[in-house]
């Protein structure tokens, strides 16, 4: 069975340390993923994996993004072989000032061992573009790819004008206007090749001081051996 997009939650913006996207009517055996972008009000921030879920990729956040040395980061979490029904996982952000989260449901993803390859790209940079990094070659020709990005700009973002969505991807959410100094995008692609995959974003906001992008791919049933190790926050 081919992987299929089913539904997505509303984007949850929260000024604080907890973000809880929610979905109802989730199908039994389906796959859920959460894309989180966050901004911390002090160094040493982190995103904490919600209970019962796994981290596909959750790199250490970038410090010194703004004048106070605050952290800014992003993560992709996932849940395999769901029991069905309603889900509202809580993602805690250490030293959280603002967080944005969206959850999406897919059918046809492997019930276990679904994580394949991941890549990460982030830096303190004023450049108005960001790559997710490029994965190694995939284990299957029909993976699901999930990618998300953030940009930090101070003070506030009136119109980041993020290219939405990146070429070949479909948008899960995009937010160009936030008072939390963050622009963000989450997107997916249903792949048809085992070639390495990556993506990139561009935008017009000239006040950018930091940006980051990540990508993770997930296998269909029988999609080959487990790929690159999961990247955990330490």
What's this model's pTM, rounded to 2 decimal places?
0.89
Mean pLDDT lowest among 78-87, 113-122, 126-135: 126-135
Complete DSSP assignment for 138-165: PSSTT-EEEEEEEEEESS-BS-----SS
Does residue 94 carry a pLDDT above 70?
Answer: yes
Provide the terminal-to-terminal Cα distance of the chain, rounded to the nearest Å: 36
Does residue 161 carry a pLDDT above 60?
Answer: yes
Q: How many CA atoms within 13 Å lie on the side-chain side of 104? A: 23
Q: What is the pLDDT of residues 53-66, one digit of tens each?
A: 999 999 888 865 55
- With residues binned 3-state (H G I as helix, E B as strand, rest as coil), the percentages for the chain, rounded to 5, are 0, 50, 50
Q: What is the pLDDT of residues 186-227, one digit of tens each?
A: 999 999 999 989 888 888 887 888 888 899 999 999 864 334
The reported pLDDT for the residue numbered 42 is 74
Mean pLDDT lowest among 67-71, 83-87, 108-112: 67-71
Residue ranges per structural domain of the chain: 4-218
Beta bridge partners of 4: 107
């Amino acid at each position: 069975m081919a992987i299929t997009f089913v539904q997505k939650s509303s984007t949850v913006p929260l000024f604080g340390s907890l973000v809880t996207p929610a979905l109802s009517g989730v199908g039994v055996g389906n796959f859920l993923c959460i894309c989180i972008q966050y901004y911390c009000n002090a160094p040493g921030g982190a995103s904490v994996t919600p209970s019962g879920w796994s981290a596909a990729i959750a790199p250490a956040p970038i410090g010194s993004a703004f004048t106070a040395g605050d952290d800014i980061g992003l993560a992709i979490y996932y849940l395999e072989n769901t029991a069905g029904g309603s889900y509202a996982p809580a993602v805690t952000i250490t030293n959280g000032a603002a967080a944005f989260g969206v959850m999406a449901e897919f059918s046809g993803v492997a019930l276990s061992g679904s994580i394949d390859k991941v890549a990460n790209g982030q830096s303190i940079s004023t450049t108005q573009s960001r790559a997710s990094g490029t994965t190694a070659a995939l284990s299957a020709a029909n993976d699901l790819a999930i990618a998300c990005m953030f940009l930090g700009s101070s003070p506030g973002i009136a119109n980041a004008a993020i290219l939405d969505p990146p070429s070949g991807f479909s948008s899960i959410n995009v937010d160009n206007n936030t008072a939390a100094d963050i622009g963000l995008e989450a997107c997916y692609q249903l792949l048809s090749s085992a070639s390495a995959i990556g993506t990139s974003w561009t935008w017009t906001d000239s006040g950018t001081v930091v940006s980051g992008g990540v990508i993770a791919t997930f296998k269909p049933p029988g999609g080959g051996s487990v790929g690159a190790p999961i990247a955990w926050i330490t």
